[in-house]
A and B are shown apart, each in its own frame.
Chain A
Amino acid sequence: MPNLLASRSALVATAIAVVVAALMAASGQKQALVIGVITGAGYGLVALGLVLIYKSSGVFNFAQGEFGTVAVYTLFRLHDKIGVPLLLAMLIGLAASMALALATERAVIRPLFDAPRVTLLVATAGVALLAISLELWLGEARLRFIQPALGRLDRISLFGVQVSDQRLLVLAALLMLAVLLGLFFSRTNLGLAILGVSQEPVATELMGISVRRLSSFTWALTGLLAGIAGMLTAPVVGSFGPGFLTFNALIPGFTAAVLGGMTSLPGAFVGGVIVGVAQSFAVSGFQDVPFLKEIPGPGAVMVFVILVVVLAIRPQGLLGKAS
């Protein structure tokens, strides 16, 4: 029965996506469609990390964006300032984001694990604010402009929109990670154990599985995902500063996670793309509508509209489980 529900949800999501794409193409918004997909991929990457933590521990992690921003800062410092080779700097950057995630788990999450989820939610928000303060302290308040590692800008042209290598890389990374994580949770013992911990921690512990180790593993993994998200999206955006991922991608990423279903990893992928497309449509489509064109930041408004509508109508999201 659950499988039937899941496949029906997937069918509904696919149908909605196809109808939206067809409508946009018919109304001359083909370019907005392409732009939405390539920008939404970044949101999907952030959403993956949010879903992973929520799926494993029921915690909404406000600090997700900052794990990624720390990775970007580390990479920038090491590569651009000190001259460490790019690959090595990237690995150290990813290690830094994983270390921050692990530190959060050990110092904040574990002591509060039995507290109400809202307490944990506020605690992760505290971690995010602390991380932003540290970035301000260490890296100044200024924006840093960076160039993509992959320089080719015109790899593909779709409906007149050129898609750069860096954007293709983000899209490919999102797709690959969503599939790999989906397989990890459905096909591996470790993945199933993590799910078991999230649903029945006491029973899982009685089965000889270390809840603490699994918790550490999950947070390290989400730190890794955030680091990848930060390193891949910062060159696409072209700049970063303190709070980069939190201010640029946390709300759209959260909306993508809710839209896809807070527990569905492929849903995070789908949600990210849908949010990106909706944002892009708002930016280009509202320009010619008398009242709507007055809205400052129509893309951001659209994200909130989606969030409210999904929470009101289908809180479990497109691909999430209802029970």
Chain B
Amino acid sequence: MRRRSAHVAVARGSAIALALLLAAACGQKAGVGDRAAAPSAADQAAAGAPVSQAGTPNGGETIDTSGGSGTAAPAAGSTGGASTGGASSTPATGGASPAARSSAGSAASGGSQGAAGGAGTANGGRTPTSAGGSSSGGAGNGGGTAAPAPVPGGAPAPAGPVDRTGVSDTKIRIGIHAPITGAAPFPQNAFDKGKDVYWKFLAEKGGIFGRNVEIVFRDDQFNPSRAVQVCREMVEQEKVFILLGAAGSEQITACARYANSMGVPYLSAGVNEDGLTGLRTYFATSQTYHQQHSALVSYITTKLKKTKLAIVLNNTPALNETQQSITKLAQAAGLNIVRQSRIGKNASDSELLSEANALRTSGAEVVYLLTSPVNFIKLATNGQAQAYSPIYMGPGITNGLNIVAEAGCPAIGPAKFFSPFPQLDVIDQLDPDYQKSYQKYNGGKGDDIGLAEWGLSKVIGSMLQAAGKDLSRQSFLTALESGKEFTTNVYPIVSYSGAVRFGAKSAHLLEADCNSRSFKTIAQFTTGF
């Protein structure tokens, strides 16, 4: 009896310890919902929202790491009135940010003060006034810049005194997060090798009004909680000027919401719109999944001439609206949706084999796929083992990377994915500078991960140029919202306005070529078929 009790005790203890250990070791990899995305105002306050010293003369070599006026933690219920800085201001129109909504009562008044350059006035109390309560406090361009139009339901604007966090006379510091681990078999140094190539190229041409860009890079581990953690680190410790998200819808959504709550401009390749719509500081540099869907559906109907479609997405709340969007468009185009399913972010062998088998049974000719490359490769491999080889197709950012073809061929077949950037087969025609620069600074042929970084950097570079010499977060946002088109010949042309944050006009379509184990560009800057 005693021995049995011992068995039971050890077994129970083991079970509990095992669960705790794995949760810790995995960094809570398993589906972290949207709730984890936006840090609460209490979190932000605890993180120590920096006291503003905006408006500090920006002299010398030192990057302004004061935190700036746009970085105090917002909280619903705080007082301080609407922002009034600058020559004009836009009244608050309701609708606090999600973070603010979730933290009513947590006052955060009395934050930043500071004389802004130009006409900026002190902004007592860092009010998280809802939608766009924005004002450009004499930002950058000599003051008196027009306040950007409000984004419905948007977060507090980076209003008030000029915020030059991360900017000095010689440097601009930019933070990037990407899923180096967890989503795809990325070589560990691939991101590192490519992240500075464009900025070195630009520096040789004089930089951005004499400033060079310094990149701070963090691995978000394909985990939204981790993403917020690294974004917070880059904003609050590294004092970056803006944040960029490379890939991963949940991570981008989580960081974008955090950045919005801190008044930090955040740009990423287009992902879901749900959870990002209405964020004052968010901008998509390429088409969102929803925007890619009409071209995708028209390709299936007119080029592939297939009728049976299955839809498979990662099981994350951020993709609910994306699933509705593709379903609606496919049905409208007369496609027969034979199966819809969601698979776990870290799907098991059993789950993927079951899914592959169900897809085969459904008779789907085309599988719309929106999962991580790891899940895609495993699903396709299991499908192949079941003698099932449909055409995999989808929107996205990372499934068209060559590493996917290297690891997934021949199982992925002639898979087709939309992409913000073209593949290496056409880059010399579109932008000959990429390979030359990569060769020059890294001593080898540039890969497509480097190309993705090159394209994104080029977009950001043109935006920074447009923001003018007197760079601040306010002038940057104003430049983006001006309606100006940003053209790179790598990423699609993109333009925004006060209300439009998903402003890309086209996308590239890539196709896997399993003979060369790489993706080829089959359509450039396409808007439909």
Contact = CB atoms under 8 A, between A and B. Distances in A.
Interface of A: 31-32, 35-36, 38-40, 42, 54, 58, 60, 62, 117-118, 121-122, 125, 128-129, 132, 140-145, 153-154, 160-162, 164, 236-239, 243, 246-248, 250-251, 254, 258, 262-263, 276, 279-280, 283-284, 287, 296-300, 304, 307, 311, 315-316, 320, 322-323
A122 B17 CA distance: 8
B10 A279 contact: no
B387 A154 contact: yes
Given A32-B354, A307-B15, A322-B4, A117 B387 contact: no
Contact of A280 (B18, B354, B381): B354
Interface in B335-377: 341-342, 344-351, 353-355, 357-358, 361, 374, 377
Contacts of A118: 10, 13
Contact of A132 (B8, B25, B316, B341): B25
Contacts of A250: 18, 22
A308 B173 CA distance: 50
A39 B350 contact: yes
B14 A254 contact: yes
- Give the residue among B7, B342, B349, B355 with the most A Cβ atoms within 10 A: B349
Nearest to B385: A153
- Give the residue among A117, A140, A142, A162 with the most B Cβ atoms within 10 A: A142
Contacts of B186: 142
B426 interface: no
Contacts of B430: none
B185 A144 contact: yes
Nearest to A284: B354
Question: 8 nearest interchain CB pairs?
Answer: A297-B344, A145-B407, A296-B31, A141-B181, A315-B8, A60-B14, A39-B350, A296-B315
Given A39-B350, A323-B1, A246 B188 contact: no
B187 A140 contact: yes
Contacts of B315: 296-297
Contact of B361 (A160, A279, A311): A160
A311 B15 contact: yes
A35 B348 CA distance: 12
A307 B351 CA distance: 19
B416 interface: no
Contacts of A297: 30-31, 315, 344-348, 351
Interface string B6-42: 1110111111011101100110011100000000000
- Is the contact region of chain B dominated by helix, strand, or loop, or is it mixed? helix
B139 to A, nearest CB: 41
Given A58-B6, A142-B188, A248-B348, A39 B15 contact: no
B180 interface: yes
Contacts of A246: 22, 25
A239 B353 contact: no
B218 interface: no
B357 A35 contact: yes
B28 to A, nearest CB: 12
Contacts of A40: 350
B141 interface: no
B298 interface: no
Interface residues of B, number: 59
B386 interface: yes
Contacts of B12: 311, 315
Contact of A117 (B10, B342, B386): B10
B374 A239 contact: yes
Nearest to A238: B381
21 contacts: A31-B354, A32-B354, A39-B349, A121-B10, A141-B181, A142-B185, A142-B188, A154-B387, A238-B378, A239-B374, A239-B377, A247-B22, A247-B29, A296-B30, A299-B344, A300-B30, A311-B12, A315-B7, A315-B12, A320-B7, A323-B3
B345 A296 contact: yes
B384 interface: yes
A161 B354 CA distance: 9
A122 B21 CA distance: 10
A297 B28 CA distance: 14
A258 B12 CA distance: 10
- Give the residue among A42, A125, A154, A250 with the most B Cβ atoms within 10 A: A125
Given A142-B186, A153-B387, A161-B357, A254 B348 contact: no
Contacts of A31: 354, 357, 361
A280 B22 CA distance: 22
A254 B19 CA distance: 11
A243 B385 contact: no
Contact of B349 (A42, A128, A284, A296): A42
Interface string B381-400: 11011110000000000000
A258 B386 CA distance: 32
A236 B378 CA distance: 10
